[in-house]
Amino acid sequence: MRKFKTESKKLLDLMINSIYTNREIFLRELISNASDAVDKLYFRSLVDDTVKINRADLAITVGFDDVQRTVTVSDNGIGMTKDDLDKNLGTIAHSDSLEFKTENAKNEPGEEKGHADMTEVDIIGQFGVGFYSAFMVGKKVRVVSRAYGSDEAWAWESDGIEGYTISAAERAEHGTDVIVYLKDDTAEETYGEYATEHGITDLIRRYSNYVRYPIQMEITKSRMKPRPIDAPDEYMPEFENYTEVETINSMIPIWKRKSSEVSQEDYNEFYKTDFHDFDDPARTVTVHAEGTLNYDALLFVPAHAPFDMYTKEYKKGLALYSSNVLIMDKCEELVPDYFNFVRGVVDSADLTLNISRETLQHNNQLRVIARRLEKKIKADLAAFRDDDREGYDSFFKEFGRTMKYGVYASYGSAKDVLADLLLFYSAKQQKLVTFDEYLANAPEDQSAIYFAAGDNLEHLAKMPIVTTVLAKGYDVLLCTENVDEFCMMALGDYVKKEGEDERSFPLKNVSSEDLGLTTEEEKKQAEEATEENQGLFEVMADALGGRVEKVVVSTRLTDAPVVLTTEGAMSLQMEAMLRQTPGAPEEMPKSHVVLEVNGQHPVFETLKAAHEAGDDEKVKRYTSILFDQALLVEGLPIDDPIAFAQAITELMA
Ligand code: ADP
């Protein structure tokens, strides 16, 4: 028995118990080693004429035995000599594969010691620990190997605790078998699951689907036995099992291929199978980056939001591969929250992975990739918007909320990326429009973008404060989603770009007090009228007991006797919405409401007359009705519907 070196023992212990969080990756590691071994042999055949290998014959075979409880990974690659076994598997953290890679990468093709193009091979190993992950699931591991060009085979065997033995063995051909004797099942872990056809094929497809050599397995199938010629009438068909060797992995990483060589149908198929969707994606984006950091990415915008999209369970992220092997299912850092609907794959051989290959050492690399992908997604969505507007509209109905929320959640810092991708409903054009489309239809003198927020479109379109602005010839964006007002608030303004020119248009809620639509003259008149009626307005404000900041004569021309407006950022709708939010505090910030009275309306004359006649009781009753009415018009709840109904009835009687 050869003993592991002391450091090796410690490391092995660490490996088995702490480095990996996920036991099932052992198969990924063994298959990666097998792939490296065939790759190395293939590489030798390219640089050495005496090595005669047909690439099509190179393969990895996975097998299992559910009685012996073993999983075996075999390859017909380069194999290991007795010395190799001792050196490579006896010393933990010694990676021969890494040496191979650095050694050969140094030599450009054509140089004296030159080799064939390294892009022909794709060595995965680098840390010299992957093999030992087999001890996470195995109580014993036996490796039988025969080096290419040698006529003897050797077996390395270890229980992963003290040491290992190396003894003579038999193997018909060059290559290696790694046989893992699974641990006994415990209450927490059923290791036996790994010795099943389903368990293994699942893991292969999950982690090693894009390994470049075929991963073959004997699959058990069932077929109907032929009906005997002399079968009686009541003959029941009989079934029998048989086995067939199948290639489990799909091998070709579609994201590495030039997009000009892949049909959209192929992309769609890949998307539907790998991301479990029934529908084709709405958009497909490919990225092939070359430079200090090489990577390929294939991104999809789904046509429909998944059912859990707007729940806490939904997890964003892209699948991260390194040299065709899955590292992480959903790498969150690769997409910003506001593009969390994007699915896809990123693959880079240049990532500095941490030792377990479960995560990355340097997040900078991810950040560089993420930034580039964000630009790509943005550009593609902009093209989508410009080239296929109908498609973009339905995309926006699915995912627009995410982008609007993104503006708000980033406190407006994502504004530059998102503002021109947003759509809102235009009251004038009666369809979804971008800010640019809104402005393209605006009169010369318009200096702001107007919006109104409420429950539904029909309702909003009829609101007096909306119709007033419309009557002036200005369009109003009708916002019916909860997030809209918050989004508008975070945006603050929209910067319209025309060539070099930039012009900022503030976003104004039509119910905010100063819309900037009135002339100085009109303002002065209204102020004077307010002054003149101070006595009446005090009684009215009094009637509403603190629910309004003040009562004034309105500068807005509307048909309604009164309208409610707000001062400051908080609108009535926003206040109502916040109040409905589960877990909202008792003491909520309140909006500052102004009751604006229409000086041209006959009701105003009635109020004035009552006040002059000393009938302030009537003024108060009417004020309270008018206030509730104004709330109802805005689609907001009133405090006391019964009192309101009674007051109206009394009036009629
Ligand atoms: P890594 O793959 O990161 O180099 P491992 O611990 O998985 O580290 O493997 C250590 C070394 O053992 C490899 O570098 C390789 O030289 C050798 N090895 C492992 N598996 C095989 C195999 N199936 N065929 C040939 N050599 C292998």
Angle at CA of residue 447, ends 497 and 429, nearest 5°? 80
> Is residue 583 classed as helix, strand or coil in its secondary structure?
coil
Q: What is the average pLDDT across 13-38?
A: 84
Average pLDDT of the chain to the nearest whole number: 88
> Ligand 1: distance of its center to the CA of 290 in Å?
29
Beta strand 60-65 with 70-75 is: antiparallel
Structure letter (DSSP) for residue 227: P
Distance between Cα 184 and ligand 1 center (Å): 26
Query: What pLDDT is recorded for position 126?
Result: 60
Measured in degrees and rounded to the nearest 5, phi and psi for residue 605 equal: -60, -45
Strand, helix or coil for residue 206? helix
The predicted pLDDT at position 115 comes to: 45
Residue written as token pair 């004997």? 218
Write the DSSP symbol of residue 360: B
Residue 181: pLDDT above 90?
A: yes
The rounded distance, in Å, linking the Cα atoms of 392 and 376 is: 16
Q: Is 98 exposed, middle or buried (0-12, 13-18, 19+ CB in 10 A)?
A: middle
pLDDT in tens, 46-71: 888 899 999 899 999 999 999 999 99
pLDDT at 482 over 90: no
Ligand 1 pocket: which of 96, 179, 357 to mutate (most atoms <8 Å of CB)? 96
SS3 call for 477: strand
pLDDT exceeds cutoff 90 at 613: yes
Q: Find tokens 């302030």 and name the residue.
A: 616
pLDDT of 569 > 80? The answer is no
Per-residue pLDDT at 130 = 82
Q: What percent of the chain has pLDDT over 90?
A: 58
Kindly report the backbone phi and psi dihedral angles of residue 320, in degrees, each rounded to the nearest multiple of 5, phi listed first: -110, 120
116-130, 387-401, 531-545: range with lowest mean pLDDT? 116-130
Residue type, 397: K
CB distance 181 to 142 below 8 Å: yes
Least confident of 92-96, 209-213, 242-246, 311-315: 92-96
516 sits in the region (left: phi over 0; alpha: psi -120 to 50; else beta) called left
- Rounded distance from Cα 349 to ligand 1 centre (Å): 18
> How close is the Cα of 128 to the center of ligand 1, in Å?
7
DSSP state of 55: G
The helix (run of H) or strand (run of E) holding residue 176 is strand 175-182
Residue 143 predicted with pLDDT over 70: yes
Per-residue pLDDT tens digits for 499-558: 889 999 999 999 886 777 778 888 899 999 999 999 999 999 999 988 899 999 988 767
Cα distance between residue 353 and residue 582, in whole Å: 42
Which residue's CA is the nearest one to ligand 1's atom 18? Answer: 33
Report helix, strand or coil for 77: coil
Please, what's the largest Cα pairwise distance for the chain? 121
Of 213-217, 360-364, 413-417, 585-589, the range with the lowest mean pLDDT is 360-364
Predicted confidence band of residue 308 (pLDDT cuts 50, 70, 90): confident
Nearest to 449 by CA among 458, 461, 457, 441: 441
Nearest to 16 by CA among 193, 144, 183, 211: 183
Predicted local distance difference test score (pLDDT) of residue 118: 52
Please state, in angstroms and rounded to a whole number, the distance separating the CA atoms of residues 76 and 57: 8
SS3 at position 139: strand
Average pLDDT over residues 249-263: 89
CA dihedral sign, ordered 159, 160, 162, 166: positive
Residue to mutate (ligand 1; options 39, 81, 97, 135; most atoms within 8 A of CB): 97
Q: Average pLDDT of 577-581?
A: 75
Closest residue CA from atom 8 of ligand 1 = 128
Protein residue closest via CA to atom 12 of ligand 1: 88
Tokens at residue 349, please? 């051989």
Q: Which of 82-86, 335-339, 346-350, 419-423 has the lowest mean pLDDT?
A: 346-350
Residue 98 has a pLDDT of 67
Q: pLDDT value at position 68?
A: 95
SS3 category, 633: helix
- How far does the centroid of ligand 1 lie from the alpha carbon of residue 97, in Å? 6
Ligand 1, atom 23, residue with closest C-alpha: 34
> Which residue did the predictor score with more confidence, 127 or 349?
349
pLDDT digit string (tens) for 352-382? 766 556 666 567 888 999 999 999 999 999 9
Query: Tokens 């593609």 identify what position?
Result: 380
Name the phi and psi angles at 344, rounded to 5: 155, -165
Nearest CA to ligand 1 atom 5: 128
Atom nearest to 131 CA in ligand 1: 7
Quick one: CA dihedral 118, 124, 129, 135, positive or negative?
negative
| 136, 39 Cβ separation under 8 angstroms | no
Confidence grade of residue 36 (pLDDT, cut at 50, 70, 90): very high
β-pairing verdict for 2-3 and 163-169:
antiparallel
pLDDT given at position 448: 93
CB 27, CB 208: distance < 8 Å? yes
pLDDT mean over 284-305: 94
What distance in Å separates the CA atoms of residue 476 and residue 72, rounded to the nearest whole number? 69
Question: What per-residue confidence (pLDDT) applies to 402?
Answer: 94
Cβ 341 vs Cβ 301: under 8 Å: yes
The strand pairing partners of 165, in sequence order, are 157
Rounded mean pLDDT, 446-450: 93
Cα(80)–Cα(83) distance, integer angstroms: 8
Residue 107, pLDDT score: 46
Q: How far is the CA of 131 from the centre of ligand 1 (A)?
A: 6
User: Which residues have CB under 6 Å of ligand 1?
Assistant: 29, 33-34, 37, 75, 77-78, 80, 88-89, 95-98, 125-131, 176
Closest CA to 510 of 552, 566, 550: 566
Q: How far apart are CA 210 and CA 274, in angstroms?
A: 12
